[in-house]
């Protein structure tokens, strides 16, 4: 029944701490203000110091109780607590010196000044615990924050690039920014409300005082999501009522992340997330990445048909006719299955054939896709003998040939391709050649590119 008394007293800590500050500052002002005549005012100064000592004692006790019942880390509070106790002891000590008149006025001033210094540091550390150590710097312009060496506060709403949002990391690029903006102020290593740290992947995995907050693949059973959709006036609702609330779209994205297994290192594009969920975060007024062309919309049942055949098929943006097709769940796709994609020839802008059973023969068909912008041929038997055919793709910007047998020699057929910007060729013979830069496009091989040395005279 009386269990609540101690936590309640703990809650008075932020109020109580102002009493010693007031009393002690007042007492020390009198010590300084009345110089040699201070003895006249000695009884008042004594009273101020005595009340300061008593209230510092109560503040320390309530602070300790608050630390015990509200989930602050020991490392966070230890110096604050230690200095709070020191303030208490020094106040009583000074009071005693005055009472016994053992100190000279000069010594009293030194002791008084020390007391004020210590109470200032104590208060500052306490303020950092409640308001965060970026309390003052947070409102400064970002340049000034950076100049002062602080971590620039990331309170920007989540934005995703409309053109290749597929390449954004699901967790670090989309989920963490949402948590940073809505949850981090209370759930960080310093201010572990509910003993929960939402500022890192490890923290999320660790969970809070009630245990795990993620139930793999099940959003409703995961506190990280379930608490967000509780009615706002329920006690367990997060973030607490009257605090900034995440948007409906942000909550949906968190849900999708949990349902896809809450991965740490998966790109949005690899997670087969529905584009409608990411679209609300697209940056406005961006230069379009996919070609701006008039093509007919593929009828919904044709898209459904593609899906039933095993493709992942999705428009790149709501109301756009342009399609993103992936064979992520269709590894058996081979050259002879091309006819299935024939009807979507004009609409396909993104085609992921990673890990399928295709061969070089398909390059001829791929060359007939007029709007193809991103092509992924990773982990296939492609060797690149007909790679030059892709010169026909007048919109191709990104080509992925990771983990294939394409050689540098074959790749050179694409040199001076009019639109090709970047080729990804990790784990391929191309990568074995270091990172040659003789091409019109940027070649990403994943190998360290060392500056050429005079001894680099070996000709391959
Ligand atoms: C204003 C401070 C504040 C903000 C902001 C906040 N929380 Fe909390 N959170 C708390 C407090 C206090 C608790 C502990 C009391 C409780 O369990 O309800 C808590 C507890 C939790 C718990 C339960 C942990 C456990 O195991 O008991 C989860 C999950 C949670 N918060 C998620 C979130 C998420 C997600 C956000 C952001 C969308 C968020 N919180 C934002 C203050 C906050």
User: Is residue 293 included in any domain, yes or no?
Assistant: no
Distance, C-alpha 213 to centroid of its chain: 17
């779209």: which residue's tokens? Answer: 249
Q: Rounded distance, CA 239 to CA 254, Å?
A: 14
Q: Are residues 306 and 434 in the same domain?
A: yes
User: Is residue 453 included in any domain, yes or no?
Assistant: no
Q: Are residues 121 and 175 in the same domain?
A: no
User: Is residue 153 included in any domain, yes or no?
Assistant: no
pLDDT band at 457 (very low <50, low <70, confident <90, very high): very low
Q: Which domain holds residue 248?
A: 165-281
CA of 232 to the centre of ligand 1 (A): 13
Q: Are residues 304 and 270 in the same domain?
A: no
Q: What is the average pLDDT score of the chain?
A: 87
User: Is residue 72 included in any domain, yes or no?
Assistant: yes
Alpha-carbon separation of residue 372 from 36, 65, 383, 392, 446 (angstroms): 89, 64, 20, 10, 25
Q: Are residues 85 and 173 in the same domain?
A: no
pLDDT band at 150 (very low <50, low <70, confident <90, very high): low
CA of 196 to the centre of ligand 1 (A): 7
pTM beyond cutoff 0.85: no
pLDDT band at 331 (very low <50, low <70, confident <90, very high): very high
Q: Are residues 127 and 174 in the same domain?
A: no
In the structure encoding, which two tokens stand for residue 432, read together? 């074995």
Q: Rounded distance, CA 228 to CA 223, Å?
A: 8
State the total domains in the chain: 3
Residue 262 φ/ψ region, left for φ over 0, alpha for ψ in the -120 to 50 degree band, beta for the rest = left
pLDDT given for residue 260 in this prediction: 93
Q: Are residues 215 and 273 in the same domain?
A: yes
**437 vs 132: which has the higher pLDDT:** 132
Q: Rounded distance, CA 371 to CA 190, Å?
A: 51
Q: From atom 31 of ligand 1, which residue's Cα is the shortest distance away?
A: 238
Does ligand 1 come within 6 angstroms of the Cβ of 227? yes
Q: Are residues 329 and 436 in the same domain?
A: yes
pLDDT given for residue 3 in this prediction: 82
Among the ranges 103-107, 234-238, 268-272, which has the highest mean pLDDT value? 234-238
Evaluate if residue 34 carries a pLDDT over 50: yes
Q: Are residues 313 and 411 in the same domain?
A: yes
Q: The CATH number of the domain where 383 resides is what?
A: 3.80.10.10
Evaluate if residue 265 carries a pLDDT over 60: yes
Q: Are residues 402 and 343 in the same domain?
A: yes
Query: Using an 8 Å Cβ cutoff, are 390 and 366 in contact?
Result: yes
Dihedral sign computed on CA atoms, order 25, 28, 32, 33 = positive
Q: Which of 100-114, 300-314, 384-398, 409-423 shows the lowest per-residue confidence on average (mean pLDDT)?
A: 100-114
Q: Are residues 334 and 244 in the same domain?
A: no
Q: Rounded distance, CA 67 to CA 383, Å?
A: 64
Evaluate if residue 386 carries a pLDDT over 50: yes
Does ligand 1 come within 6 angstroms of the Cβ of 193? yes
Evaluate if residue 459 carries a pLDDT over 60: no
Evaluate if residue 35 carries a pLDDT over 90: no
Q: Are residues 401 and 322 in the same domain?
A: yes
Does ligand 1 come within 6 angstroms of the Cβ of 421? no
pLDDT band at 437 (very low <50, low <70, confident <90, very high): low
Q: Are residues 262 and 170 in the same domain?
A: yes
User: Is residue 248 included in any domain, yes or no?
Assistant: yes
């Amino acid at each position: 029944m009386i269990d609540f008394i101690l936590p309640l007293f703990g809650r008075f800590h932020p109020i109580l701490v102002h009493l010693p500050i007031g009393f002690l500052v007042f007492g020390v002002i009198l010590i300084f203000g009345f110089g040699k005549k201070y003895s006249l005012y000695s009884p008042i100064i004594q009273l101020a110091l005595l009340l300061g000592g008593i209230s510092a004692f109560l503040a320390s006790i309530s602070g300790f109780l608050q630390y015990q019942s509200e989930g602050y880390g020991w490392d966070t509070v230890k110096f604050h607590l230690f200095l709070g106790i020191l303030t208490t002891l020094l106040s009583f000590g000074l009071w005693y010196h005055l009472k016994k008149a053992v100190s000279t006025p000069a010594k009293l001033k030194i002791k008084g000044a020390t007391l004020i210094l210590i109470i200032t540091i104590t208060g500052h550390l306490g303020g950092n615990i409640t308001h965060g150590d970026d309390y003052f710097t947070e409102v400064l312009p970002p340049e000034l924050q950076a100049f002062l060496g602080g971590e620039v506060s990331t309170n920007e709403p989540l934005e995703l690039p409309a053109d290749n949002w597929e390449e954004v990391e699901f967790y670090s690029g989309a989920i963490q920014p949402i948590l940073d903006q809505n949850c981090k102020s209370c759930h960080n290593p310093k201010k572990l409300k509910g003993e929960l740290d939402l500022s890192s992947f490890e923290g999320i995995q660790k969970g809070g005082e009630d245990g795990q907050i993620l139930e793999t693949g099940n959003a409703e059973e995961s506190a990280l999501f379930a608490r967000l959709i509780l009615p706002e006036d329920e006690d367990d609702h997060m973030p607490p009522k009257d605090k900034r609330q995440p948007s409906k779209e942000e909550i949906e994205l968190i849900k999708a992340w949990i349902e896809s297994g809450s991965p740490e290192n998966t790109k949005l594009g690899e997670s087969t997330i529905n584009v409608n969920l990411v679209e609300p975060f697209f940056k406005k007024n961006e230069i379009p990445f996919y070609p701006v062309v008039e093509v007919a919309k593929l009828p919904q049942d044709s898209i459904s048909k593609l899906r039933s055949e095993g493709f992942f098929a999705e428009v790149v943006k709501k109301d756009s006719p342009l399609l993103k097709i992936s064979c992520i769940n269709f590894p058996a796709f081979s050259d002879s299955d091309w006819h299935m994609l024939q009807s979507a020839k004009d609409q396909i802008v993104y085609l992921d054939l990673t890990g399928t059973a295709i061969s070089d023969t398909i390059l001829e068909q791929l060359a007939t896709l007029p709007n193809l912008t991103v092509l992924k041929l990773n982990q296939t038997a492609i060797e690149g003998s007909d790679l030059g055919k892709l010169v026909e793709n007048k919109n191709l910007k990104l080509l992925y040939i990771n983990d294939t047998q394409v050689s540098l020699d074959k790749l050179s057929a694409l040199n001076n391709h009019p639109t090709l910007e970047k080729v990804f060729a990790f784990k391929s013979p191309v990568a074995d050649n270091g990172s040659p830069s003789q091409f019109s496009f940027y070649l990403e091989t994943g190998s360290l590119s060392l500056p050429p040395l005079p001894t680099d005279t070996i000709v391959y």
